[in-house]
Amino acid sequence: MNDIKPLAGKKVAILATNGFEQSELTSPRDALLNAGAEVDIISQRGGEITGWSGKNWADEVKVDKTLDEVKAEYYDGLVLPGGLINPDTLRQDKNAINFIQGFFSDNANKPVAAICHGPWLLAEAGVLKGRKVTSYSSISTDLKNAGADWVDEPVVVDNGLVTSRNPDDLPAFNKKVLEEIREGRHHA
């Protein structure tokens, strides 16, 4: 293993659309790139997507691939940034949900990380039953209703699934994302 670039050779997808929380996409992306991973920003359409910061639209991020160009099997891990608009839009997209489910299939069990409102997508994908998770507090009931064991902690790891509450948790979140992707597939 390369200690300088511990994720060299790993390929990670970040699934997002307009309205993603700016820091929740850029901070994990930068941590992954610095660790040597190849990162693709995946969205519904090509071009650029616009982030959200505070009460305003933020920076644009280039989309590398669209959902119709990718499959979970192409990647070693998945990151789901939050924001309010981003996951609410994506959870209504069948292709986005199918992509997410591919990381949880019996023969996959790849690391997945979701922060803030990002776990809404995991509830929609039906992959939370019996899993310990955290999220932005306003969606805790939704996650519990999806079968999750919700806790209020900065970062929670459950068999390769990493979840966090908000941008303040990004240092702990990023550290666990890198660890889980370095470890690779998890066996239930």
**Which active-site residues does the annotation give?**
116
Which amino acid is present at 131? R
According to DSSP, the residues that pair with 35 across neighbouring strands are none
CA pair distance 89, 137, nearest whole angstrom = 19
Q: What are phi and psi of 140, to 5 degrees?
A: -60, -40
152, two tokens: 């209020």
Answer yes or no: are the C-beta atoms of 29 and 39 closer than 8 Å: yes
36, two tokens: 């040597």
